[in-house]
Every structure is written in C-alpha cells, then in structure tokens.
Amino acid sequence: MIEIKDVTKIYTSKNRQVIGVDHVSLTIQAGEIFGVIGYSGAGKSTLLRCLNLLERPTSGQIMIDGVDLTSLNSEQLRQARLKIGMIFQHFYLVSSKTVFENIAFALKAANKPKEEIEKRVNELLDIVGLSDKRDAYPAQLSGGQKQRVGIARALANDPNVLLCDEATSALDPSTTKSILTLLKKINRELGITIVLITHEMEVVKDICDRVAVMQNGKIIELGTVYELFTNPKEELTKSFINSILQFEVPDHLLQKRTGTMVKILFKGESAEEAIVSDMLQTFKVKGNILHGKIEYIQNIPLGVFIMELTGERKEIERALDYISERTNGLEVIAHAA
C-alpha cells in the first residue's frame, strides 16, 4: 500500500517559487492500477517522482507498506528503491549496450551474481516477449520494443510497485494497446501495484482501476474509472471524458431536424437491454438513430445514443418519460421546431 500524506513540493529557483504538488493526500491499495490524469503542468510527474523520492517532498510523507521513505538514510533508500520500478516516456536505454546488457545493468547495480543475472534476464525477456532481441541494440528496436526493454529493466529486482511516467505517450495507438496489455498482465500475474500518469483518458479507460484528476498541483476528483465516466463532478473531468464519449451533432443535422433530438446515456445492464426498440413499439413515435456507441469500462457497458424522435408532441413526451425511467441520463438536445 502506498500512502501519500499531505505532500507538497515547492520548486525554488533564484527568487521564484513554483508549487509542483500542493497538499496531496492519497492512498493507493496494493495490487491496483492507479492512474493520475491532468494536463501539462498539473503536477503529475512531480507527484510520481515523489513516490520514489526522485523528488524529495518539501513537506509530507510517502509511506510504502508502512515505511516512511522520507525518514530513510541513503543506503536504506537505495534498498527501498530496488522494490519500486519505473518506466519513462522516452525509455532512457543505454544506446551502446545490448538489450541483455540494459536489463542486466539493474541487476548488477543490486550486486546479483553472474549466473543469477543470466537466468533472470532471460526470464524477463520472456515476460516482455523479446527473447529474440536479446543481442540487439536499442537503435535496432521499435518504440514499443524499447518500452518492453524499459519494462523488463524495471521488473529486474522483483519490485512491488511500478511507476509509469507517460509510458505510452511516445507510441502509436496500436503499440500503446499492446504495452497497456503487457502492463495489465504484469499487474494481474505478478501482483505488482502500478501507478501511472497520463494526459490521455483512453489509457485510463483501458487499464486503470481508479483515477485521480490533477490540476494546479491538487487532486480535484478521485474515484473508480467507472464512477468518473458515469458521474463526473468537475468540469476538467468532464472534458477528459468527453474526449472519449462526446459526439457533437453536426450543424447540418441540427438544421435539418424535424423532430426532438435527444441524447441517452445507458449504464450497466441498461446498456445491453432493448429499451429503445421497446419504446418505439410502445409509443406512436419514429426514432432515427444519428449516433450510437457502447464503451466497455472495467468490463461494464456504458452506451450513448443520439436520436431524433418524430411524432405527436404528447407521444414524444410519453416516450421520453419511458426512456427516462429506464436509463441513467436523458438530455433533450433540441425540440421540434
């Protein structure tokens, strides 16, 4: 378990002070995949780097499994850091060393004997699916393969925690998916707690159990990913979610409309039920679906439909009541002219 207790990080340069992290308290459970999302400058990197004291908090405590990292001497901290792996957006591999040597480096630093290093690196290459690239140099690898080496290196000393600093931001969407799948496998099979920072809601949606939204050094909203998707409170959270769920009705459709335009949000089981077709059979209205999408968030469906309903005003109102009682959000975008 990671406990961040009232952590503040203030950067001081010349006569200027910048607050990187502002009184953040947070508990991350062992075994979870925890995301921190925010725009550039929100303080995500600073917070993540406080977790292994790459940045030392100006005040507050970082407790990992009950041990306060800020109270350790340098040798104790070195030992504690072996159990906290980290991966980076730009990989930071040593270009003059092979894949094997890059991974072995982390084990040599922990004074492991040669035979153990050989065995462990081969195991790690197998875990990340790179056994055939053992003797390649970083320049001969794709971005996704470089990140796999980064992950193998981070796992070398059997960490309990893996910190991911925008680990997929330099990768294309399909490589991003494969790296996220690998991180999920590492979390589930090796039981490693993962803390990741990102500015992409897609990453949070695909992999995280819980997420914190950060702005100006503070956590402004926190919850399970499903809670945040279905019931966001803060404007910033809504804007991240809209990047995935939003569908703006094109102007020309709005102009042409003859009926009532509605947006319907279905959560959980209701997303899989035939509520719309039941409504169309029950009332004398016609429905034209303009947009429909079901996202699966933590394997729970969340559907969004935009429909135009035509018919007599009274029937439309009854149909809307029917939908409203059975779904989780009904928004009338525009009424009949």
Ligand X SMILES: Nc1ncnc2c1ncn2[C@@H]1O[C@H](COP(=O)(O)OP(=O)(O)OP(=O)(O)O)[C@@H](O)[C@H]1O
Binding site for ligand X (CB under 6 A): 11, 13, 18, 20, 38, 40-46
Sign of torsion over alpha carbons 58, 59, 64, 70: positive
Nearer to ligand X, 103 or 196 (CB): 196
Packing angle of the helix pair 114-128, 99-108 (nearest 10 deg): 130
The minimum distance between CB 196 and ligand X, in angstroms, equals: 12
Does residue 315 sit in helix, strand or coil?
Answer: helix
Task: Tell me the pairing of strands 210-215 and 218-224.
Answer: antiparallel
Nearer to ligand X, 88 or 226 (CB): 88
Beta bridge partners of 13: 16
Nearer to ligand X, 20 or 85 (CB): 20
Spatial separation of the C-alpha atoms in residues 193 and 227, rounded to whole Å: 21
Nearer to ligand X, 45 or 193 (CB): 45
The minimum distance between CB 13 and ligand X, in angstroms, equals: 6
Q: In terms of Cα–Cα distance, which of 60, 314, 205, 188 is closest to 196?
A: 205
Beta bridge partners of 101: none
Spatial separation of the C-alpha atoms in residues 185 and 207, rounded to whole Å: 10
Tell me the CA distances in angstroms from 95 to 104, 135, 140, one per residue in order: 14, 12, 10
Nearer to ligand X, 44 or 267 (CB): 44
The minimum distance between CB 103 and ligand X, in angstroms, equals: 26
Whether 148 and 179 have beta carbons less than 8 Å apart is answered as yes
Q: In terms of Cα–Cα distance, which of 225, 162, 169 is closest to 196?
A: 162
Q: What are phi and psi of 146, to 5 degrees?
A: -60, -40
Task: Tell me the pairing of strands 2-13 and 59-64.
Answer: antiparallel
The minimum distance between CB 271 and ligand X, in angstroms, equals: 33
The minimum distance between CB 48 and ligand X, in angstroms, equals: 8
Nearer to ligand X, 18 or 190 (CB): 18
The minimum distance between CB 66 and ligand X, in angstroms, equals: 27
The minimum distance between CB 38 and ligand X, in angstroms, equals: 5
Nearer to ligand X, 1 or 10 (CB): 10
